[in-house]
Homo-oligomer: A and B are copies of this chain.
Amino acid sequence: MPPHPTGRPLFQVTVVNQQLDEKGRLKHFLTIENLSRSLLIKVLDGAERFAPVGERAVKNVPLLRGKTVVNLFFEPSTRTRTTFELAAKRLSADIINLNIEASATTKGESLLDTLRTLEAMQCDMFVVRHQNSGAAAFIADQVAPHISVINAGDGRHAHPTQAMLDMFTIRRVKQRFEGLVVAIVGDIAHSRVARSEIQALNTLGVSEIRVVGPKTLIPTQIEALNTRVFHQMDAGIAGADVVIMLRLQHERMQSALLPSAQEYFQAYGLTERRLKLAAQDAIVMHPGPINRGVEIDSAVADGPQSAILHQVTHGIAVRMAIMSMVIGAQAMAGGG
């Protein structure tokens, strides 16, 4: 009997950049770290080609016809799951939604056995959401060569598709990265979104990245990531071209790290008055869902400088682009 293509040793040595194949093509999409400027630009240019598809009467293209995508969600997120589900369907892929919390606990199957089983079903792509940092990279390490893994958020580590849709939104409005001042406001310490954004902004070459928030929510040594730290909101957003507000998690509001949601809003909430301190044509972004009156005032969220809904729209195009790239790399590698 020939060995099953998915049967292999449990732990493999992680290659330096496990996201790229030997020809430098994107095979997995796990983190912004280590990706080159030209590759990020390639993702943005790809998304630019997919963006008009969402505005057509027929929003489907046959690029992933006959491919099987699995939404492998170990942590519930209707919003992110729906975005990937829509992107996959508009690419004409077949998609299976698996809520692993519910299913695996029923029979006590291990994560690796679940992965191998799905691989053996000849799936082509896993979109992974997990509460533990490093889960997506671990899975990418373990999966068979014919599978691509996309990180849809792992612990506090990374949320690279969110970062890329934010970059796409900035480029669409500002037409450039050079010279921009970008302020990221809120709970930097616990935010996978912030981590991925800082990496992307650095790679794409903005002028200045600011992180703004209370001391309890800013990690030490964040300056090493080429950021400037501000604990005062007014100073932090003064003159900024882009203001990215982070979502304040409910567990944080109830923790000892913060006094209360009301006091947080007093100190760091984005109001119309404060937004006037930023550049005149500054845009406001937020990964959603927003807490109105906690990190952002409704007048700003729904106001003329808000790009929040544009971000959602761009999220589909960016995910279509990334899904197509990783499957395209597989096809050119002679797999699947």
Given that A59-B67, A110-B292, A113-B290 are contacting pairs, would A313 and B94 also be in contact in the complex, using a CB cutoff of 8 Å?
no
Distance (whole angstroms) from the CB of A171 to the closest CB of chain B: 12
Is A121 positioned at the interface, with any CB of B under 8 Å from its CB?
yes
A7 CB contact (under 8 Å) in B79, B108, B306: B306
Copies in the complex: 3
Q: Do residues B103 and A4 form an inter-chain contact, with CB atoms below 8 A?
A: no
**Chain B residues with Cβ under 8 A from A67's Cβ?**
58-59
**Contact A6 B82, beta carbon cutoff 8 Å:** no
Q: Please tell me if the beta carbons of B66 and A7 are within 8 angstroms of each other in the complex.
A: no
A120 within 8 A of B: yes
Tell me the bound Cα distance from A54 to B336 in angstroms: 9
Residue from B94, B98, B289 within 8 A of A60 (CB atoms): B94
Binds B, one of A22-30, A34-42, A83-91, A193-201: A83-91
Q: Which residues of A contact B (CB under 8 A)?
A: 1, 3-4, 6-7, 10, 54-60, 65-68, 76, 78-79, 82-83, 85-86, 89-90, 94, 96, 98, 102-104, 106-110, 113-114, 116-123, 173, 250, 283, 288-292, 302, 304-307, 309-310, 312-313, 315-316, 331, 336
- A6/B59 contact (C-beta < 8 A), A78-B106, A94-B89, A283-B1 known: no
Among A109, A307, A309, A312, max chain B CB count under 10 A is at A309
A122-B54 in contact (CB<8A): yes
Given A57-B66, A58-B65, A60-B94, A313-B120 contact (CB < 8 Å): yes
Least CB separation from A76: chain B residue: B106
18 contacts between A and B (CB under 8 A): A1-B173, A4-B309, A7-B302, A10-B302, A54-B122, A56-B66, A58-B67, A59-B68, A68-B90, A78-B104, A85-B96, A86-B94, A86-B121, A90-B94, A108-B250, A117-B312, A119-B309, A120-B309
Q: How far is the CA of A185 from the CA of B64 in the complex (A)?
A: 42
Q: Chain B contacts of A79 at CB under 8 A?
A: 103, 107, 109, 117
- If the complex has contacts A4-B310, A79-B117, A292-B110, are A316 and B122 also in contact, measured as CB distance less than 8 A? yes
Query: Shortest Cβ distance from A85 into chain B, in angstroms?
Result: 6
Whether B98 lies near A78 (C-beta < 8 A) is yes
Q: How far is the CA of A306 from the CA of B96 in the complex (A)?
A: 27
Find chain B residues with CB under 8 A from A309 CB: 4, 6-7, 116-117, 119-120
Contact, CB under 8 Å: A66 / B60: yes
A307–B90 CB distance below 8 A = no
User: Please, how many angstroms separate the alpha-carbon atoms of A331 and B58 in the complex?
Assistant: 11
Is A117's CB under 8 angstroms from B288's CB?
yes
